[in-house]
Amino acid sequence: MPEAKNADTRTAEADAGPIRFFDLETPKKMLRADIEKRWQKILDHGAFIGGPEVTELEAALAARTGAKHALAVASGTDALVIALMGEEVTSRDAIFIPGFTYNATANAVLVAGATPVFVDVDAHTCNMDPAHLEAQVEAVIREGKLTPRMVIAVDLYGLPADYAAIGRIAKKHGMLVMADAAQSFGGAQGGRMIGAIADMTTLSFYPSKTLGCYGDGGAMTTDDPARFDRWSSIRWHGTDAQKKESIRVGVNGRLDSVQCAVLLSKLTIFGDEMKARERIAQRYRAGLGNAVEMQHVPAGSQNAWGLFTIMVNNRDAVMKALQEKGVPSSIYYYKALHQHKAFAPYAPKGGLPVCEKLAARVLSLPMHPYLTDGQVDRVVAAVKAAV
């Protein structure tokens, strides 16, 4: 009985404790001894760049996603840029991207030398709208200035994009499909894991992602061995396999051994963390009911819940009310991409109505594997009172 009482007391204390938007501290405490042991091995062997941890991580990522090849790179943005460089895109190539996502996707297209074409999103999934994609592709073809080359479908908030519909459109027009899965590692669609659905997939291991390191980090997956070889070369300054000659233009896109060690350690608890994210998301959804709009998850899709996002009309007031009750919240994202100064020259005529509406209404709630049921219930109660 005393043990049960102590357990109940600890649970009650956790339920009443501070609510974190992201929680990097709990897994750090859980894994610190293992991470330090892995770091000690790196200090001993001294291969800080290109050490055995890099190839071990790549093998682990390939195994977890079901992709034939995985490449560790310095960041999620580097993954996007390297993938585009690998296809030798030019300013004459149209790269279709959703207008509602982080600016890294648009930046990567421009840094790689291609031309972004913004596509509106679905109001319910927040992901690229296949119908508008088709319309944008046809518009580009009619205008005749650009060649439709690739679709970058972003998995916003952790939900896989509609790859079946996007894939059909891409195939019809001879385009490749890249999955920008910066927020969706651990998700799935149609029985296939993120990383093995599109022609190529890019991942981010920024600390707050579903799998995060202690700095910047990213990865790329593909089933195409030739594409993987190009990426490997570009990642290492465009050199050949012997690192002796530059055979193409490249970048310094390597992920160091230290960060790979962190990711290898975090992968040991990743499965449990994903189960916790799903449980927490379902508790949110059940608790909030019809009080607010939430991201729709189509049948056959498994959301990785990188973020849990609702849509409200009185967002500023809701955020203030939540803050007063000790509930953190954040906005992803304040503006649609075509509304940014840097990307305004590529804004489509008439704008992107759904993207613009979402930018004014979305609000992300605390989401991480270490929220207690009591904390989730506190967030739910605060949201319902605020709206």
* Host domain of residue 130: 31-264
Q: Do the Cβ atoms of 330 and 308 come closer than 8 Å?
A: no
283 and 154 in a common domain? no
Domain count, the chain: 2
d(CA 29, CA 198): 36
Report the 10 Å Cβ neighbour count for 13: 11
153 and 14 in a common domain? no
Q: Residue 329 maps to which CATH number?
A: 3.90.1150.10
What is the predicted pLDDT for the residue at 4?
53
DSSP state of 299: T
326 and 305 in a common domain? yes
Phi, psi (deg, nearest 5) at residue 154: -90, 135
Amino acid at 199: D
d(CA 87, CA 104): 18
The average pLDDT across 181-201 equals: 98
What is the predicted pLDDT for the residue at 16?
82
The average pLDDT across 11-25 equals: 90
Summarize pLDDT for 292-345 with one digit per residue, the tens: 999 999 999 999 999 999 999 999 999 999 999 999 999 999 999 999 999 999
3-state class percentages of the chain: helix first, strand second, coil last, to nearest 5: 45, 15, 35
The average pLDDT across 8-34 equals: 90
Of 183, 220, 178, nearest to 198 by C-alpha is 178
The average pLDDT across 76-82 equals: 98
Q: In what order do the strands lie in the sheet with 301-302?
A: 192-193, 188-189, 301-302
b vs e for 83-104, b when ≥16 Cβ sit within 10 Å of the residue's Cβ?
bbbbbebeeebbbbbbbbbbeb
What is the predicted pLDDT for the residue at 7?
58
Phi, psi (deg, nearest 5) at residue 58: -60, -40
Given a cut of 70, is residue 9 above it in pLDDT? no
Contact partners, residue 226, CB within 8 Å, separation at least 6: none
> What global pTM score does this model have?
0.95
The fraction of the chain above a pLDDT of 90, given in percent, is: 96
190 and 315 in a common domain? no
Summarize pLDDT for 221-246 with one digit per residue, the tens: 999 999 999 999 999 999 999 999 99
Q: Do the Cβ atoms of 87 and 149 come closer than 8 Å?
A: yes
DSSP state of 291: S
40 and 18 in a common domain? no
What is the predicted pLDDT for the residue at 8?
63
Q: Last residue of some domain: 239, 264, 289?
A: 264
What is the predicted pLDDT for the residue at 1?
39
The fraction of the chain above a pLDDT of 70, given in percent, is: 97
Contact partners, residue 116, CB within 8 Å, separation at least 6: 95, 96, 97, 106, 109, 110, 337, 343, 346
Q: Last residue of some domain: 238, 264, 290?
A: 264
The average pLDDT across 15-27 equals: 94
Q: Last residue of some domain: 244, 264, 284?
A: 264
Given a cut of 70, is residue 5 above it in pLDDT? no
Given a cut of 90, is residue 258 above it in pLDDT? yes
